[in-house]
Amino acid sequence: MTRKTKLKWAALAGGLVSWWSVMSGVALAEAARPDLIFILADDLGWADVGCYGGKTPTPHIDRLAREGLRFTQFYANGPECSPTRTAFLTGRYQQRVGGLECAIGNGNVGRYDDAIRLREKNELGLPVQETSLARLLKDAGYRTVIAGKWHLGYEPKFFPGPHGFDHWFGPIGGGADYFHHVEPEGLAVLHLNGAPVKRDGYMTDLITAEAVRQIHLRRSEPLFLYAAYTAPHTPIQGPNDRRDQPVTPEDWNKGTPEAYAAMIRRLDDGVGEILRALETRGLTNALVVFTSDNGGTKMANNGPLAGNKGTLFEGGIRVPCIARWPGILPAGAVSEQVGITMDWTVSFARLAQTRPPAGRPFDGLDLLEKAVAGKPPEPRTLFWRARRGEVTWRAMRAGSLKLVSKQTGVKVEEHLFDLERDLSEKNDLVSQRPDDVLRLKERLAHWENEVKPVR
């Protein structure tokens, strides 16, 4: 650990340990059941926001960082949408579910052999038999709400309701025209509590409005709000880019940097409205987490990171992550603890005083507990596998070493990087450290065997 890192964590630990020591048993119990607000951006680049070096103004997201804890080594569970969302709801590696190692294709299409097999059986989605964070929190007395993108199954049996959400609104698929709310081939995907619905407006604004509406509802129980934005996922449409007709499939991945920046600014506005709603309602005991489901596309700003969405280089999986909990987490703190999406599932479950069902232990760690305890960063061992068509990406991070492989048919490309010295993954060590490559490959193979799906 560098001297700079030690100083950061010394300051952080001092504030947190001081807080911990003065909390009474009653106050601690009250703080253990806060409102839980999880804001998920879609395809947001690591440096797309101001507090991570972005040039597009994002004052509300930056405010979260000023008032909370900003993570610099946080990862998404996958380089695409559906995998990370699966991991967040289950608290487990998405590979355990089967068929969800790749984003479900528009119109409910499987994109690799296992997903195709499940689609043919009408089983492509997140089964209700899997652990659901929403169900755990609902059973623990929370009101559970999703405002925004689902992307875990097109069929009603996979919808948010059966997974424990009391209220849900948003598109069921991966991407939709921001004004007409249809996929590239014309399928309307906007739903309200299980039924198709039509609403006029820009998708980002509709998601914000629903999130704010749910915050303002009078209730006695704590709230779990999953605000899952589609921005800045394609199509690249700013709030002033409405057309009379939906974006065509040919233009779906086209767009300008100006439109992309406008999408991020509107996303930031939405974060600001959610924060204002919490303040207006006097919900001061609220943990707000902001992050992204994967790294940015080529349109995004991934800063010094190599690669982008769809790859397992840092640019495909390292994402912004900020947590704010007034009076609990110190303002303006920075953490270099390695974390991953499914860690928040563990933290949320503990705060709600619940736990996963027997036989389905969480794969993550309690990231918040470590922060509150003021512990310095500890090494993590994390695994990734992503599949689409004939391509399989694999990666593993063990301490500062990271192994990345890309298999296309029988051809395999392997890379080894030391992220502590080479954040941009420019210095490939695969030929210099063959023993480390072999050791990590063996551990990765063991993990792949351990997470084989049951269906």
Out of 51, 60, 81, 181, pick the active-site residue.
Answer: 81
Angle, CA of 204, 207 and 210, to the nearest 5°? 150
Whether 51 is catalytic: no
DSSP 251: G
The token duo for 41 is 């951006």
C-alpha 144/C-alpha 48 separation (Å) is 29
Q: How many C-beta neighbours within 10 Å does residue 124 have?
A: 27
C-alpha 275/C-alpha 288 separation (Å) is 9
Whether 81 is catalytic: yes
Residue at 250: amino acid letter = E
User: What are the phi and psi torsion angles at 278 (to 5°)?
Assistant: -60, -40
Angle, CA of 290, 296 and 297, to the nearest 5°? 155
DSSP characters over 236-296? ---TT---SSPPPGGGTT---HHHHHHHHHHHHHHHHHHHHHHHHTT--SEEEEEEESS--
SS (H, E, C) 26-70: HHHHHHCCCEEEEEEECCCCCCCCHHHCCCCCCHHHHHHHHHCEE
C-alpha 380/C-alpha 397 separation (Å) is 7
Out of 60, 151, 191, 415, pick the active-site residue.
Answer: 151
List, by residue number, the catalytic residues.
81, 151
